Structure 1
Amino acid sequence: MNWFRHDNIHAPRGATLHCRGWGQEAALRMLMNNLDPAVAEDPAHLIVYGGRGRAARSWDAYDKIVETLMKLENDETLLIQSGKPVAVFRTQPSAPRVLIANSNLVGKWASLDEFNRLEAEGLTMYGQMTAGSWVYIGSQGIIQGTFQTLVALATQHFQADHLRGRLYVSAGLGGMGGAQPLAAKMLEGVALIADVDPRRIQRRLDSGYLDAGMTSIPEAVTRALEAKAQGESYTIGIQCHANELLAYLRERHIVPDILSDQTAAHDPLVGYIPDGYGVDEAAALRAKDPTEYLCLARASIGRHVEQMLSLQAAGAVTFDYGNNIRREALDAGVDHAFDIPGYVPATIRELFSEGKGPFRWAALSGDPEDIYRMDDLALEMFGDNPLLRRWFALARKYIHFQGLPARIAYMGQGERDAFALKVNDLVAQGVLHAPVVFGRDHHDTGSVASPYRETEAMQDGSDAIADWPILNALLNVASGAHWVAFHHGGGTGIGYSLHSGAQTVADGSSDSADRLARVLWNDPGIGVVRHADAGYEKAQRTLEAFPERFNTPLLGPTHVPTNK
């Protein structure tokens, strides 16, 4: 294959090495998979998802990364500084093969304006979360998190484990938001999702994440209400601005059962399109007058949240989906923006206390049968978990693979490492046709400090303490992950998040077994410790369930909790 072509990139498949070890090979394949047209939102510009979350700073940087990975020795480590390869150092065989740092700025300078200036100078890039750490797997990577969130909302507000007869309204069909309609469909609900970009709607239609795409708001709303009344599971992408859809609903006193948003509002310059603009017109204004663009986008975000608040007051179960839209609206003058709760404290914080989060794996063979064999293994090992069993059945039925076949599952403390070690055995035995890479979204139990998402309303008030993701990254390096990343910005934007990611390869060797055992115990383990330290009783019970594995001198919360 032509390793350095920049159009129509696809990761190699199969058991043939093109690098000097599977750690390097997996990093190479996952980098290329990030830019596969079936995976990335705008691969021609190296943009993977999230407005401008990129896999590499430039095509020259991409070429040099590929070239270096192919000749990197098994006792060397490649350093990536905001998408640019800067050095190779001799380390040791058990060290990571790649270390990545993206978008990090000193606190006083950590503003969007300063980042935009530095990016324009070619000195940095936005890595989002899994874009710049080379483990994005398309909308299939966020789908279970959306599923878990909606299950929790259904249980809390409708005393049900489904959304049958319920209408979910939101906006944004990009790499993250695109998962929303399929998650609602999996739970038998109706989803009506706005997006200005017709290409995104078509993309979700092609991948089976949407049942229909429409351009008429009245027709789309009528069809959604018919499906709701009939208890039909149906999903619609409507080509319009969120404000247009919400205004139509308000004018006609139509109140959705659940309301959210997953536009890229965390990046108002690139990720959010102002009212009255199409995609091309917005791009032209952005290039001509970015200051005016930001002004218009932020005003639109303010109206967006005001309308969400109005529908919330009318009875819609409304939540912020972690895109920093409330903060942007607050800055635009919407004083009550934070009356909308964040989804982590509202729905899934307990999962973090159990070491659960968006654990994922990709089959480097490219063979879907390898994923199905691992599905079966997971059910053999954890089939007594009814929600996990339900998830695997739905995932196999509904989710189309994007790029390398992959799967995600919210496995917790003691489950990730046990599962990965069994997979490593299957690779060694030849049951699986090539090695498997294990990773996760940075959105995980102990890897993020993000006061408007993962660490919002922490019980001890430690929302903005960023020691934890730094310790997570350092621990994963010490544990021997094959590559480790540390980023700034994530899904909530510059100045609002610090987070880390780690990936480890199961190649069937004893070396991989040792790495997997350490990384996949320690990585979620520090998240459990982080939540136990903050005073969460479920996290403390999780620690107590493994007395032989945790030697944790917890002192408990250091002061009276402030965010109960």
Structure 2
Amino acid sequence: GWSMADAETKRNSEAEAVVKAAKISMAKQVRAMLKFQQLGSAVLDYGNNIRQMAMEEGVENAFDFPGFVPAYVRPLFCEGIGPFRWVALSGDPEDIYKTDAKIKELIPDNPQLHNWLDMARDKIQFQGLPARICWIGLKDRARVGAAFNQMVADGELSAPIVIGRDHLDSGSVASPNRETEAMKDGSDAVSDWALLNALLSTASGATWVSLHHGGGVGMGFSQHAGLVIVCDGSEDAGRRISRVLWNDPATGVMRHADAGYDLAIDCAIDQGLDLPMLEKKH
């Protein structure tokens, strides 16, 4: 290994050598992970693209173990479930605690969600503006957003709430080594969906929309769209919230239904999504 001082010196004087050394180290780690897999351990890439780096360093079977999305998360994406994040612009933690309670009221039958909200309040300190994140999906995001907006309108919250999400989500990403790895229809690298998601969020009235790439896997390996909507208590915000927070996760359900996932197709039917491509396929 290198000391911190050695690493800093090498980064400044031998940048290419540092990259090479890092890839050699990653290859060694992936070979060890493959060995653990052979011994029966559950092994996965948690989204940092280490398999790609190892393969570039000569580990030809680096992708013999899966990424975490196809291994565990994709069924959630099929129902538009992903990271839902909000921030209290007042800076008052009490506003977050009130929104925690509102989510538990609106979604009473999800004990894992309740456990997370309780643990986050007790164990995780706020940094900067108070914020919270949890995983909810198509059937819940719009009504939670509407409830937050009404809380602002009624004066229950002391200032507006801003709602966003992670770049990792069900319909906003094209990332063949992470979110869209091993898609059922082979559409791993089709980035149209991320761009359509951004356009739809813009048309729906999001406060701001962003396009970026590289999230989790490094620059050049993914494209994704982000959005934010502000709950300021106005009727106009309420209308835009209902569109933005429905259409965004619905894009994810649509994307996975189009790829042939039965769970997404069932969700689309259950939630009344009008997906003409499904009529052609079925």
Q: TM-score, normalised by structure 2?
A: 0.96
**Which string of whole-angstrom CA distances, capped at 9 and with x for unpartnered residues, describes residues 289-312 of structure 1?**
211111111111111111222223
Aligned to 1:402: 127
User: Aligned equivalents of 1:336 and 1:389: distance in 2?
Assistant: 41
In structure 1, the residue corresponding to 2:167 is in which secondary structure?
Answer: coil
| Aligned match of 2:99 | 374
Contact 2:171 2:251 (C-alpha < 8 Å) held by counterparts: yes
Paired residue for 1:391? Answer: 116
User: Is residue 173–residue 180 contact of structure 2 (8 Å, CA) maintained in 1?
Assistant: yes
Among candidates 439, 444, 462, match of residue 169 of structure 2 = 444
Query: In structure 2, what is the equivalent of residue 159 of structure 1?
Result: none
| Paired residues for 1:230-241 under 5 Å | none
Is 1:501 aligned with 2:235?
no
Q: How does 1:69-218 map to 2 (within 5 A)?
A: none
The answer for the alignment partner of 2:181 in structure 1 is 456
1:334 aligns with 2:31: no
Matching of residues 169-318 of structure 1 within 5 Å = 276-318=1-43
Aligned match of 2:276: 553
* 2:45 counterpart of 1:320: yes
Q: Which amino acid in the other structure matches residue 418 of structure 1?
A: R
Cα 1:308–1:472 change in 2 (3 A) is same
Task: Spell out, residue by residue over 1:192-217, the C-alpha distance to the aligned partner (whole angstroms, 9 max, x if none).
Answer: xxxxxxxxxxxxxxxxxxxxxxxxxx
Rg larger for: 1
Give the match's secondary structure for 1:318.
coil
Q: What is the rounded CA distance, in whole Å, between the counterparts of 1:332 and 1:556 in structure 2?
A: 45
Alignment deviations for residues 51-79 of structure 1 (CA, whole Å, 9 cap, x no partner): xxxxxxxxxxxxxxxxxxxxxxxxxxxxx
For 1:312, what is the secondary structure of its paired residue?
helix
Q: Is residue 257–residue 278 contact of structure 2 (8 Å, CA) maintained in 1?
A: no
Stretch moving more, 349-358 or 379-388: 379-388
Rounded to whole Å, the distance in 1 between the matches of 2:191 and 2:134 is 26
Question: Which amino acid is 1:553 matched to?
Answer: P
Identity value in percent:
52
Alpha carbon RMSD of aligned pairs, Å?
1.4
Deviation, structure 1 residue 457: 0.5
SS at match of 1:502: strand
Residue type of the partner of 1:309? L
- TM-score calculated relative to the size of structure 1: 0.49
Aligned to 2:81: 356
Return the alpha-carbon distance in structure 1 between the equivalents of residues 100 and 219 of structure 2.
37
Choose between structure 1 and 2: higher helix proportion: 2
Which letter maps to 2:157? L
Letter of the structure 1 residue corresponding to residue 195 of structure 2: I
- Distance in 2, Cα, partners of 1:386 & 1:301: 38
Post-superposition CA distance 1:244-298 (Å, at most 9, x none): xxxxxxxxxxxxxxxxxxxxxxxxxxxxxxxx12333222211112111111111
Higher relative contact order (CA 8 A, sep 6+): 2
Residue from 531, 548, 552 that aligns with 2:256? 531
Q: Report the Cα distance in structure 2 between the residues aligned to 1:344 and 1:332, rounded to whole angstroms.
A: 24
Q: What residue number does 1:63 align with?
A: none
CA contact (8 A) 1:534 1:556 kept: no
Counterpart Cα distance in 2 of 1:340 and 1:556: 35
Kindly state the Cα deviation for residue 313 of structure 1 after the two structures are TM-superposed. Answer: 2.3
Deviations 1:21-44 (A, max 9, x none): xxxxxxxxxxxxxxxxxxxxxxxx
In structure 2, give the amino acid aligned to 1:462. Answer: S
Alignment match, 2:199: 474
- Partner of 2:90, secondary structure, is coil
Count of residues paired in the alignment: 281
Residue of structure 2 in register with 1:489 after alignment: 214
Find the aligned partners of 1:543 and 1:309 in 2 and give their Cα distance: 38
Distance in 2, matches of 1:443 and 1:317, equals 23
Task: Write the distance in 2 (CA, Å) between the matches of 1:286 and 1:556.
Answer: 56
Structure 1: gaps spanning 5 or more residues: 1-275, 559-564
Offset from partner CA, 1:461-511 (integer Å, 9 cap, x none):
110100000000010111111111101211111221000100000011111
Are residue 426 (structure 1) and residue 148 (structure 2) matched? no
Q: Determine if contact 1:535/1:556 at 8 Å carries over to the other structure.
A: no
